[in-house]
Each structure stands twice: as C-alpha cells, then as structure tokens.
C-alpha cells in the first residue's frame, strides 16, 4: 500500500501528511529542549564545580526517568488512548527547562532533568502512534519523518547552546519556553485530529493481534532488538555526553568549536534517519538493521585514534550509518507484536534512552578514574554487539 486508504481520497492523504509533519516538527521542538541539557554540560560543570560522575548522573536522571515511564505510558494508552496527553508532555518539558534556568543547587538540576524526562516519556509513545495512524501503510517513511524531527532538534540544540546560552548564561534557558508554547499549540491541533480519527474509526474491525511467529521466538527477537537499541544508544550517549570533553582534551579546542563537531555528528544522525525509513519500506526493516548495526563497526574502532580531520569525518559516517536503523527497528518490532504500538514505542524510545543513561553514568565514573580518552577506547568496541543481528528472523510478508 503506497497511498492512504480513505473515502475522502486525496484530501485525507494531505491531512495525514500534515499530521506526520506536525508531530515531526514537535518532535524537533521537544528534542531541541532536551538536547540543551547535554549541550550545557561544560557550562554546568564550571558553574557548579561538577565532576564527571555528577555529569553522568544528570544524564541518568533524564534518560532513566523517561525509560521507566515510557513503557508504562505505552501500555496505558494502548488500552485507553489519551490524545490530549501530547500538549501536556510539552508543558512538562517547558517546566524542566525553567527549573534548569533557575537552579541554585545540583539537586535542582536533577529535578529539572527529571521533568524533561517525564515530558519525553509522555510525548514519544503517543506521537509515534499518531505517526503510524497517519502513515497510510508506509510505516517506515512515517517513522523516519517522525524520528528525523527528533534528530534535527538534537542537532540544533548544541548550536543554540553554543551561540545563545553559553554566551548569555544559564538563565537564558528560560527563553526557550517560547518553543514549548509553540509545541503546545501545534500538539493541541494534532490531538483534535487524533480524537476525530478515533471517532471515525470506531465502527471498524480492530486490527489483528495475532503474532506472526511463535511466542518464544517473538520474545527472543524482542530481546535481541532491545540489546541492539541499547548498545546503539549507549554508544550515542557517550558521544552526546562526553564528545565535547574528548575533543577539548585531545585537540585543545574551544567549547564552541567542540560544539560544532558535536553538531556535525548529530546532523549526520538526522540525515541517516531520513534515509533509513524509505529504504526499509523498499527492502525490508531487517536489511536496514543489518547495514546500520554492522556497517558502523570499522569506523567506531578507528575513531579513538584519528586526528582532528578524520575525527570530524568519522563522526559524520558513524552518525549517518548508526542512526539509519532506529526507525527500522521500531517498525520491525511493531510488525512483530501487532496492535501494541504504544508498548513498542515506549520500550524502544524508553528503554533505549534508559540504557543510554545507565551507560553515560558508568562512563562518567570511568572517565573520572581513567580519563576521557580511555572511555572512548572502550566505547569503540560497543558496536561489536551488533553481531547479534544474525538472530533476527525474517517476518512473513503481507500485502
């Protein structure tokens, strides 16, 4: 199916595309605000005399808050859909930013990080569900468009931090509440569409929840997918959280130059997401997962030993290749467990971030004892766990 099936024809298709673009746009706004936290680590480290353990704990607070809540939100909304939870999520993220802007102690920073995590936990499962509902069967494309919004926001965040927040101080974070209010208004409109969609679909037969494979094989495949996603996000979290410190120490860069390198990585990640979904629709999600998880291994192994030029080139390749898999993993899991869109979105957006947070906290402890360069040597071996891709089965094809 390549077009949206509806009695309204072309008009319905345009409406659905506008909805996907809207949730992708709000995903960008949401992740701009989230990425400001990690982008400000050098500033927060200086202002509060933090060590790397505390930096890791901030990442842990944000990502594990989101991780613990997202699957629960997904399970609840699979059974009792809550369209207007989307604008509420944006308000939680806004509150977290304002808390960070006015923090006077490390524990207040942790509270702000948790509020941002709660906003993420509420936003992602329902927004992912809306993208799938509006996809017209092109699930890979819809998830890619949705995810690229998040990756774009994550890439823009460091630039805003480098050129606005770092020069003007931590208090300028409160200015970004305007972004949150914009997202609140757009998501309110999306929630209205979601409510109308549910009403128009009320008389239709519910989608089948029959598993395409034996139950034990489904469980094992989900475990493999979670491990692949956790490995990918632990590695990406190490780059997002500590890459600026690594480049400052190794190449004696200034904070703004280090942020520009981080932007290259995050921008490449956003581009990789764009390509991953459509390729998955054409050749299958399993093909994209193979290419992404295994293709990044040689570049990751070389990264700790590269000079400045090749470091910039390698992080672009790593970001592009590694990030192309995420939408394919989500689509593969949704097809593996049909009818559980919220649960799957919660697991992979939630647990993925949670494992990334745990990894960031552990890496912070190691960085304090052995140095940031040693951390990047360890991280270079993480993608080798992608060899577990060999255990992913082929799913039955349906027209």
- Mean pLDDT across the stretch 309-320? 88
CA-to-CA distance for 221 and 39, rounded, in angstroms? 35
pLDDT, position 7: 36
Is residue 9 pLDDT above 60, yes or no?
Answer: no
CA-to-CA distance for 67 and 169, rounded, in angstroms? 30
CA-to-CA distance for 114 and 121, rounded, in angstroms? 10
pLDDT, position 25: 93
- Mean pLDDT across the stretch 71-80? 79
pLDDT-based confidence at residue 202 (cuts at 50, 70, 90): low
Instruction: Please report the domains of the chain, with CATH numbers, ordered by start residue.
Output: 13-200+210-391 (1.20.1250.20)
Q: Which residues contact 167 (CB under 8 A, 6 or more apart)?
A: none
pLDDT, position 3: 36
CA-to-CA distance for 26 and 150, rounded, in angstroms? 8
pLDDT digits (tens, 9 = 90+) for 323-344: 777 777 877 887 888 877 777 7
pLDDT digits (tens, 9 = 90+) for 148-192: 787 778 778 777 877 887 788 777 888 888 888 899 999 999 989
Query: How many Cα neighbours within 13 Å face the side chain of 385?
Result: 19
DSSP per residue, 84-143: THHHHHHHHHHHHHHHHHT--SHHHHHHHHHHHHHHHHHHHHHHHHHHHHTSTT-HHHHH
pLDDT, position 201: 67
Is residue 354 pLDDT above 60, yes or no?
Answer: yes
pLDDT, position 186: 93
Q: Which residues contact 322 (CB under 8 A, 6 or more apart)?
A: 232, 235, 236, 269, 272, 292, 293, 296, 383
What is the pTM assigned to this prediction?
A: 0.66
- Whole-number Cα distances in Å, 343 to 26, 136, 333, 376: 21, 21, 10, 33
Proportion of the chain above pLDDT 70, given as a percent: 90
Is residue 397 pLDDT above 80, yes or no?
Answer: no
- Mean pLDDT across the stretch 299-321? 88
H/E segment holding residue 168: helix 166-168
Is residue 237 pLDDT above 50, yes or no?
Answer: yes
Query: How many Cα neighbours within 13 Å face the side chain of 131?
Result: 34
CA-to-CA distance for 246 and 379, rounded, in angstroms? 12
pLDDT-based confidence at residue 10 (cuts at 50, 70, 90): very low
Proportion of the chain above pLDDT 90, given as a percent: 4
pLDDT, position 185: 92
Q: What mean pLDDT value characterizes the chain?
A: 79
């Amino acid at each position: 199916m390549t077009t949206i099936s509806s009695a309204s024809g072309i008009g319905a298709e345009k409406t659905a595309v506008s909805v996907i673009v809207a949730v992708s746009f709000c995903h960008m706004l949401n992740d701009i605000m989230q990425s400001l936290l990690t982008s400000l680590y050098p500033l927060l480290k200086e202002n509060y005399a933090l060590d790397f353990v505390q930096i890791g704990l901030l990442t842990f607070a944000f990502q594990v808050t989101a991780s613990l809540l997202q699957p629960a939100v997904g399970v609840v909304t699979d059974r009792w859909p809550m369209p207007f939870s989307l604008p509420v999520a944006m308000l939680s993220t806004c509150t977290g930013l304002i808390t960070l802007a006015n923090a006077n102690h490390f524990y207040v920073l942790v509270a702000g990080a948790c509020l941002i995590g709660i906003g993420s936990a509420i936003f992602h499962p329902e927004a992912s569900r809306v993208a799938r509902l509006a996809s017209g069967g092109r699930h890979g494309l819809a998830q890619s468009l949705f995810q690229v919004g998040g990756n774009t926001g994550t890439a823009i965040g460091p630039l805003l931090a480098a050129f606005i927040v770092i020069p003007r101080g931590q208090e300028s974070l409160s200015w970004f509440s305007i972004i949150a209010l914009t997202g609140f208004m757009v998501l309110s409109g999306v929630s209205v569409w979601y409510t109308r969609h549910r009403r128009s679909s009320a008389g239709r037969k519910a989608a089948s929840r029959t598993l395409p494979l034996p139950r034990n094989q489904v469980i094992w495949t989900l475990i493999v997918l979670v491990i692949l996603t956790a490995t990918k996000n632990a590695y990406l979290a190490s780059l997002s959280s500590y890459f600026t410190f690594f480049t400052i120490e190794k190449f004696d860069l200034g904070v703004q130059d280090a942020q520009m390198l981080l932007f290259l990585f995050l921008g490449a990640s956003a581009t990789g997401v764009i390509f991953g979904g459509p390729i998955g629709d054409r050749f299958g999600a399993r093909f994209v997962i193979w290419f992404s998880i295994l293709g990044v291994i040689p570049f990751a192994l070389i990264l700790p030993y590269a000079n400045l030029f090749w470091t910039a080139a390698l992080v672009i390749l790593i970001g592009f290749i590694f990030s192309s898999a995420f939408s394919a993993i989500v689509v593969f899991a949704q097809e593996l467990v049909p009818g559980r869109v919220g649960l799957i979105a919660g697991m992979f957006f939630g647990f993925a971030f949670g494992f990334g947070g745990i990894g960031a906290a552990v890496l912070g402890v190691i960085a304090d004892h052995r140095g940031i360069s040693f951390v990047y040597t360890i991280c270079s071996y993480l993608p080798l766990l992608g060899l577990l891709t060999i255990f992913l089965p082929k799913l039955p094809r349906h027209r």
